[in-house]
Amino acid sequence: MSYSITKLISRSRKPVTILFTDIVDSTKYWDTKGDIKGRLMVDQHNRLVFPVIKKFQGKVIKTIGDSVMASFSSPENALRAAIGIQQSLEDYRNKNKRFKLEIRIGMHTGKALIEKNDVFGDTVNVAARVEGAAKANEILISGSTEKNVSRSEYALSKKTSFIPKGKKSEIIVYKCDWNKLPNLIKGLNFNAVLPMMSQQRNELLFYLAGILGFVYFLVHNYLRYALADQQNIYLLSFNPQQMLSEHPIITAILIISGLVLMSLLKYLTVMPVRLFKFVKGSFGYALIFFASLMIMKNIPLEYRFDMDQTFYESKHLFVEVLHDNTRIREHPSLSAATLGNANARDLLLLADVKDMGKMIWNKVLIGSEKYGWIARSIPADFGVEEKRLTIANKFYFKRSHLYALIIGIIGFLWGFMSFSIRPL
């Protein structure tokens, strides 16, 4: 067992460049400015650092107090990200004279154990020691990183050598004169994306769960009736095999879209702010829609005005199935041949009704010019109660439903406009 675990862990050991950032004199800032301003200071640091890491194909592994740990598969991209980070901070300091934040950056290249959400190994420890040797506004890289980049292109110069704590051999570190290099962050919008940490991911999942519930409500209570009222669409929905054979591309697109969405939610590291605002707005729409619908339903009859008036009435009568595996028969008889089964919540278009004395049968459309018969209920027998199988009715879309849909726009605007980027 121990051998197999060791073998499994060793497979995750891959080359990587680890980058650390650390805010200079952050302890003093927290002490003099207080917890709230200190937290906002760290958040501003993250807002300027995360987009640059993303731009150069890096991954934020974790935030450790006032530090950020990131991994890169390319040492050159890691160095370019470090340069971009220092440039972004300098640019922000030039625009905002009250912003005094300075950081030091260190990085090291080597093999490490790369797991799903973390990186382990000596490479991580050495990278942290290199960062600790840097001063304010400095970028230091180890010799192993320097071997993978051009000294002249990135203005590298040997700074010093030292023995990292806990190590026996000394390492050489190089300083990058980043302020002599071209701007690497030109056109980068630092407010365009939202880093998807666990808090943001959980918030997104919460909103999406609410939206999916709202969509299910709309489909179950409104849309399926409106679609079934269109006979051609109804025939396709009643016969999924026909839909697959006649419209395979649409089916494939739906399946692929679902798989892509699931992958995005699992591996999403950043999300456009406008898209997040749209998601929250949609959640607000659903919230206000349900609230207004409940309020209108509970208004006393004398004050309801025209809320109960019908805005839309279906062209057909529907037979809604109440139980799974309810049989559709060739003739209105329990002994007739079975043409198929209907499941709970299926909608069938009613064509005729026949009262056979003990049982009432509904004639329903099951294909192009093809009909079957489904029982309304099974009569009571000795020791067995009557079992209702179907309900026949029309679909009415009332003005209260329309008003709720319109009022829901207020919820969307509230959710969209009230969204604000909170500290990570």
Give per-residue pLDDT as tens, 107-163.
Answer: 999 988 887 778 888 888 899 999 988 898 999 999 999 999 998 899 998 887 777
Cβ–Cβ under 8 Å, residues 136 and 24: yes
Does domain 7-190 fall under CATH 3.30.70.1230? My reply is: yes
- How much is the average pLDDT of 197-203? 73
From CA 234, how far away is CA 362, in angstroms rounded? Answer: 17
Residue of 48, 42, 38, 164 whose CA lies nearest to 106: 164
Cβ–Cβ under 8 Å, residues 101 and 45: yes
pLDDT of residue 305: 78
The pair of three-digit structure tokens given for residue 20, joined into one six-digit string: 């650390």
From CA 301, how far away is CA 196, in angstroms rounded? Answer: 48
Residue 423 has pLDDT above 50, yes or no: no
- How much is the average pLDDT of 240-259? 63
Within the chain, all domains assigned CATH 3.30.70.1230 are found at: 7-190
Cβ–Cβ under 8 Å, residues 162 and 133: yes
- Angle of helix 35-55 relative to helix 26-33, nearest 10 degrees? 140
Within the chain, all domains assigned CATH 2.30.30.40 are found at: 317-393
Fold of 317-393: SH3 type barrels. (2.30.30)
pLDDT of residue 1: 47
Residue 404 has pLDDT above 50, yes or no: yes
The pair of three-digit structure tokens given for residue 32, joined into one six-digit string: 């003099």
* Direct distance between the N- and C-terminal alpha carbons of the chain, in angstroms, rounded to an integer: 40
Q: Residue 62 to residues 19, 67, 341: CA-CA distances in angstroms? A: 11, 9, 54
**What's the pLDDT tens digit per position in 38-75?**
777 777 788 888 889 988 989 888 887 778 999 999 99
The single residue listed with the structure tokens 């302890």 is 27
Q: Which residues, other chains included, contact 292 with Cβ-Cβ below 8 Å and sequence gap of 6+?
A: 403, 404, 407, 408
Residue 394 has pLDDT above 90, yes or no: no
pTM of this structure? 0.55
From CA 312, how far away is CA 314, in angstroms rounded? Answer: 7
